[in-house]
Amino acid sequence: MPLKLDKISVLVVEDIAPMRKLIVGVLEALEIGKIMTADHGGSGFRTFKNFNPDVIITDWEMEPISGFEMIQKIRSDPSSPNKTVPIILITGYSSKSRVVQARDIGVTEFLTKPFTGHDLTKRIEHIINKPRDFVETSSFFGPDRRRRKIDDYSGPSKRESDEGQKPVSSKDIPWDIIIN
């Protein structure tokens, strides 16, 4: 069943005008209700505060304020109107360390350039059809890093507080589940 997206608003934060236009074109083809744009993380955060969109699509590397810095403000700044807004990060950098860094600042979905309209559509559908719970600890606030629940998991405990279990070491963590 096709999604009806005419009621949602999306903020696109991208410093390269042709890329921003391409993303907006895909969103228009999806019949997104309201599309706002900004050309860097600073203007993106201001637009976010003023209009509180339902979804943010942002580039990582921008000047003078990066998408990375904007995401950190969205997730932690007291003036943020919606710390749980879904964020799709678009970047040309796809190394595992970058994916982990994006996950750790609270990115909801990750999309590598170059991408297709279909790729972007899938990320938006995933945000809508499979929303993720948010987790707050002393060092992290963002979407639950575990994308899927494994009902029959019988491995070691994941936390020291798990009754009678020892904490799991990072080499025992199924990283493909956490990152994918």
Per residue in 55-89, pLDDT tens?
999 999 999 999 999 999 999 999 999 999 999 99
Per residue in 25-52, pLDDT tens?
999 999 999 999 999 999 999 999 999 9
Residue 34 host element (H or E): strand 34-38
Residue 21 host element (H or E): helix 17-29
Residue ranges of domains in the chain, CATH in brackets: 9-143 (3.40.50.2300)
pLDDT bracket for residue 93 (50, 70, 90): confident
**Residue 34 contacts residue 5 (beta carbons within 8 Å):** no
Name the DSSP letter for residue 172: G
